Structure 1
Amino acid sequence: MNTSLDCIPCLLRQSLDAARLVTADASIHERLLREALHWAEDMDLTASPPAMAQCLHRRLREMTGVVDPYCETKAWQNRVAMDMLPRLQAEVEACSDPLLMAARLAIAGNAIDMGSNGRLTEQDVRQALERALEDPFHGDVEQFRAAVFEAETILYLADNAGEIAIDRLLIDQLLPRTITLVVRGSPVLNDATQEDAKRVGLDRMVEVIDNGSDAPGTILSDCTQDLRDRFAAADLIIAKGQGNYESLSDEPGQLFFLFKAKCRVIADLVGQPIGTQMLLKSRGAPAPGRAPAARTA
């Protein structure tokens, strides 16, 4: 998707939130914001919002020398999610539709997003997970269920720290299929990296790779050739989070987006209220020469 004019204030807020995490020096805050305002004059609105955010966060790291401004934030988010995981696992095991329950909890975990809420607290995280089944839900559930049944290889594009711990619930439902979990290649916002996947034990469940990119989404042209090859070959791609939706919404194939609609731009695009849990199949044209793999029960 293209960057909307309404995305610009959000990108500016992100840059200021991140700068304040790094330093209390108001002169750096001002300098970064002035640079961002100047840069916004020539912003390429045909690019996706994650591409714009990538540029801003790179500049922040250059100015401050801090590689991962959200390091401490991600640590507590992983801890809180892991603390809640056993109870959530029990709820999945006890319900009549464990695949859907795990998917909805994984989507609820997408609330752990510092891009949309720079003041996110532990209480916010706990409430989001505790009320997972109370939030409105809209999705292509039966198409998703059928795609999972038919798939032999699944590419799972992760999004945020904390959220990645809750992804374990859905990944457990997808096993024993061959699953590759994809994280960011470098720190950006509170997006999950290899370190986060290891902290929540996903490296012991599935293969974990990084995409080689520092964008808060999946910009295929900015990713490694290995990631692009796996993306093209996978029977099913599960893309978590709004950033992945923003950067991949026009891609074809067996691609499903699991995210919370967290802003007016996305809510209007999907035609659902802000806060809705979304499970959407890509509306891109079918990939040429691709057919889903047959799978027997």
Structure 2
Amino acid sequence: MEFIDVKNISSSWDIKVINYMKLSERATLIISNDDEKFIIKRKENLEQFNREVKLINHLRNNNFSTQFPLSTKQGGFSVPYKDSNYSIYNYLEGFTFKIEESLNNNITPRLLGETIADLNKIMKSADFLTEYPNKDLYKMVYGFAVNEIRKVDHSNGLYTIYENLEQDVKRIVNMLPSQLIHRDAHIHNIIFNNNRLSGVIDFELVEVNVSIFDLCYCTTSVLSEGFTKEELRGKWFNFVGNLVTAYNQVNPLSSKEKESIWFVMLCIQTIFMGYFSSNESLYKINKAMFLWIYENRNQIEDKVLLDVNLR
């Protein structure tokens, strides 16, 4: 995006831009002549964006902090520009936790766990679930991901694991409660300022799925960032225990949900393996994570079940 594009888009909000910085393919930071910061986001799907606005309003009405879209001069929340649509969000002051801080500081998993628990509680109370995609985690794994994996990986040992897991995964998914989930609850989408929540961002992937998906996704996303370093990898078990404990204190987990966490972690890793099956390096690291989680079931479940039940 060129500066002229940024200025043209921002004019619909009466924002006079003096500087900008591209953050990603979809997001651009802009600074106004009043030295205020905003985020421009490209929106590919307006129906999805309208759902996002509705959900953000629901969250904010329940006193949960999020990044929110600003209304244009015409009263809408987006403008068309060069075959795409764009919205502008408020800028959240603060930072996201780095991997070392996540694994070395016990305060971090507590803050993350409490935040995801609050988010899930409020999203559960939404009465517009039918407007969102309803995903079946079992089908995502065995109807999509494993089939993609088979195209690139001919490891008999891996498929033996999937065969042994299949009936348990199917049974567990059928018994777990489902609700609206964020679907992308990693540490870079949760912003803090002096250990106070500034807000959660990026609600583009929201769907209906098993309730503990966001909790498990946060654990595997942290593992992925520190997995190649043995020292950090070893500290991940305590992170999991602290995260789940904090979540459970705000949004209590049933015994079935606690016992299912290891399985949902494996499901998430399998989905990543399927998604990255055409990228050899990313596939290999996600496969290694899958096998490592699989082999460390006892340590993971000790932290999840013992820590949560004792505190």
Q: With the length of structure 1 as denominator, give the TM-score of the two structures.
A: 0.33
Structure showing greater Rg:
2
How does the TM-score come out when normalised to structure 2?
Answer: 0.32
Q: Which has the higher contact order (CA 8 A, sep 6+)?
A: 1
Which one has the bigger helix percentage? 2
